[in-house]
Chains A and B, each alone.
Chain A
Amino acid sequence: MHKALVETKKASSVFGFDFQWHDPTLAIFGAEVRQGDSLEAAKDVLISTIEGIGANPPTKEEVERARAQLLKTIELTLNNSDRVGLTLELSSSARRLAFVFPASRPAPQSDAGRSDAGGRALFQARQPHARAIHPHLATGPRRDSSHPGFAGGAQDYKGDATVAAGEAFDPSPANIEARTMRSEAGGIKLALLPKKTRGGKVVAQMALRYGDEKSLMNRTMAARLAGPMLMRGTAKHSRQQIQDET
């Protein structure tokens, strides 16, 4: 969708998500179109891209990328004790995704047959003139009696090795100061606080200070656009490669 809509400038951004529910439900896709640009043109490409998934199934590389991002998100969530409870409380599908999916680590595949079926289901389901597409099945939502239930796939679940729990840390300013090591490297002032953390997590933050009142005059927009451009390509890596690495 990004390639078909954003890179061709028919839309400024795209999104898509679905719900992992017991019964057939919604998958929602959307495109944000700039004022003055054609909503109809964007709608046509949006629909043809989704319906064309049978003819243009995701490549192995794309599936692998989605899988790697999902695994990373799960790992970071599980390392973050205040997020784990909230995430798992939300739904059993979140629990299954968090535990069963990484444990089974499904191999990347590009299943053209499955994509084709998905494309057809969406095609049959859409409301032809609606701007919001409602891909209910043609007969409407119905209960799926063959559904394996919420425990489906989890019977044989064996957890990964327990993550390191971290240390009990006294968060008082005095202790933080006592444990922080300050030094300089070139023009950089360093503040390093090594401590045991859950899952071996490390957080780093870097601030670059630049310019003065005079040199920054009339450069505001250039500054605003220069920052985000850093993540959009280097001499050796494309935006996509940078996204995959981070």
Chain B
Amino acid sequence: MRLAIAEVLREASFPANEFDLLKQEELANAEQQKSEPTQIAFTEFGRRLSPYPKGDVRYISTNEETVADLNAATLDQAKQFYRDFYGSSNAQLSVIGDFDEKEVAGLASELFGNWKSPKAFVRVPSIYTDVAATNQSFPTPDKANAFLSPGSI
């Protein structure tokens, strides 16, 4: 338990070979999703309701952008992100079950009490945008099934 939570969170070493494998897995997923009607529908639906600029944390990438971003991603960027943002200055921990509450509270304090988040946390709001109604379809010639994602805000 101590290993699983504290060491993994605080002492991640980002091995280069594992990063390459992770990229391969993610690229394979993205390539597989490219022609899936369900995935296309959700992505396009989300993109219309979340009109944020590219780069924004709320922006929804197209499949092509995801593949390009994955190809361009470097181990250093992932490591730097970990160093810049990971910490427990703004965290919640819930525990339920057969345990001693004093022991768990003590452990949380011992393992994470001094783990400061390097950058400040401010919740990023979802902003209401009046999106004009559209009706769009995306043909996927090699797929027999269709997927419909209607919605309104």
A64-72, A95-103, A111-119, A230-238 - the one binding chain B: A230-238
* Bound-state Cα–Cα, A9 to B21, Å: 8
Give the contacting residue for A218; candidates B11, B32, B55, B86; CB below 8 A: B55
Q: Mark A215-246, 1 if CB is under 8 A from B, else 0.
A: 11111111111101111111111110010011
Q: Does A85 contact B (CB under 8 A)?
A: no
Chain A interface, number of residues (Cβ within 8 angstroms) = 66
Q: Is the CB of A212 within 8 A of B28?
A: no
B61, B94, B100, B121 — most chain A CB neighbours (10 Å):
B94
Q: Is the CB of B3 within 8 A of A212?
A: no
B38-46, B103-111, B134-142 - the one binding chain A: B103-111
Q: Does A186 contact B (CB under 8 A)?
A: yes
Q: Is the CB of A209 within 8 A of B91?
A: yes
Q: Identify whether the interface residues of A are mostly helix, strand, loop, or mixed.
A: mixed
Q: Does B149 contact A (CB under 8 A)?
A: no
Chain B's closest residue to A33 (CB) is B28
Chain B interface, number of residues (Cβ within 8 angstroms) = 74
Give chain A residues whose Cβ lies under 8 Å from the Cβ of B73.
Answer: 221-222, 225
Q: Is the CB of A230 within 8 A of B22?
A: no
Q: Does B148 contact A (CB under 8 A)?
A: no
CB distance from A204 to the nearest CB of B (A): 4
If A185-B105, A194-B99 touch, does A206 touch B5 (CB 8 Å cutoff)?
A: yes
Chain A's closest residue to B23 (CB) is A225
A195, A221, A224, A228 — most chain B CB neighbours (10 Å):
A221
Q: Does B14 contact A (CB under 8 A)?
A: yes
Q: Is the CB of A226 within 8 A of B15?
A: no
B70, B78, B79, B122 — most chain A CB neighbours (10 Å):
B78
If A211-B85, A234-B12 touch, does A197 touch B97 (CB 8 Å cutoff)?
A: yes
Give chain A residues whose Cβ lies under 8 Å from the Cβ of B22.
Answer: 225, 228-229, 232
Chain B's closest residue to A176 (CB) is B96
Q: Is the CB of B78 within 8 A of A229?
A: yes
Give chain B residues whose Cβ lies under 8 Å from the Cβ of A207.
Answer: 91-93
Q: Does A205 contact B (CB under 8 A)?
A: yes
Q: Is the CB of B15 within 8 A of A239?
A: yes
Give the contacting residue for B8; candidates A191, A212, A231; CB below 8 A: A231
Interface residues of B (CB under 8 A from A): 3-5, 7-9, 11-15, 17-28, 31-32, 55-57, 59, 61, 69-70, 72-73, 77-82, 84-101, 104-105, 108-109, 112-117, 119-124
A183-B105, A190-B94, A194-B99 are known; give 4 further A-B pairs, CB within 8 A: A190-B93, A210-B87, A210-B90, A229-B12
Interface residues of A (CB under 8 A from B): 6-7, 9, 12-13, 32-35, 164, 181, 183, 185-197, 200-213, 215-226, 228-239, 242, 245-246
